[in-house]
Amino acid sequence: MSLADPGFPNDLTRRIVHVDMDAFFASVEQRDRPELRGRPIAVGHADRRGVVATASYEARPFGVRSAMPSTRAMQLCPQLIFVEGRMSRYKEVSAEIREIFSRYTDLVEPLSIDEAFLDVTDNKLGIEYGTEVARRIKADIRRELNLTASAGVSYNKFLAKIASDWRKPDGLFTVHPDRAQDFIDALPIEAFWGVGPATAKRFHEMGVTCGWELRLKSFTELTDRFGAAGALFYKFARGIDSRPVRPFRERKSVGCEETFSEDVRGYAELERRLAAIAADLAGRMSRHDFRGRTLTLKIRFADFRTLSRSVTAPGSFGDERGIFAAAKKLLGAVEIPQGGVRLLGLSVSAREAPRAAPEATLF
């Protein structure tokens, strides 16, 4: 089946690179501290309430992964070394990586502190092939920063991102347009962008386990089942992704959360903690000149079950008092289990346009 589709634009001449730093936080720590090189390390807190932020590649064969409770990580790898994170340091290194990207193109869209998309179709050095641009970027990062990155190259963001995971660590993989459909057909459904465990389960219930089986589903069937995401899945199964690389992304939400050193039981104490989080959130929103109409409460229980509750207001959330009042109502509607709560978080989304400054007058 041809990758061309009359219903959707699909420019096969684009050259998109996705660069993903390998075990970024852990790699920076091993680079800066030679005694940690070659040893299994985890960036995070070692106490029983801690969570692994990043695990080095020496720790991963033991099953240690990001977001894993620290106690579980130590059980899997007793020789694991925990290192406290240094976010300010990681931001410094991220800025150095970004400077390397800028030598090749100004069309850089950061996804997080350690990964980004680059549109190198018309790059600054006039290099014809995206694979060669990716190879040079990887070499610059290794030579100048003593770190490794993996890169994926293709004609759209969907395929470039998947390709960057294909040969980690220190990998480089290109999905050419003439081989893209075979590549997509063989992908497990879990590899598709936007497919987490819950969505994968729904696909399995439909008899969809790979890209080829996904491509057999009609546009109507997918959108009826998954809504707007179904339209994306329909396109991705055909190698279609017309989203541009956007150098500047508008902030869509502001949030903060707190993991408690001890499980918190009882609404009175939870409300006290929630008030502090609301104050922190209001401060962050003020610094970012952000107001939004939807407030979301995140709760993680002692058994690691996580739920969220949201409310959308006719006006907007911006001040501490309004945030806390709405958050308290959301919390009051949640039944707290006997084990208590280990984490509370708040975020505001559905951004309201920043208020324009009043016009100056002459009189």
Say whether 79 sits in a helix, a strand or coil.
Answer: coil
Place of tokens 């290194």: 93
Structure tokens at 321: 């008092």
- 194, 232 contact by CB (below 8 A): yes
Q: What is the bridge-based pairing of β-strands 115-119 and 16-21?
A: antiparallel
Place of tokens 């893209």: 180
Amino acid at 118: L
Residues serving a catalytic function are: 115
Structure tokens at 208: 């969809």
What CA–CA distance (Å, rounded) separates 67 from 163? 23
Q: Which of 161, 186, 162 has the alpha carbon at shortest distance from 109?
A: 161
Angle at 311 between CA 309 and CA 315, to 5 degrees: 160
- 330, 288 contact by CB (below 8 A): no
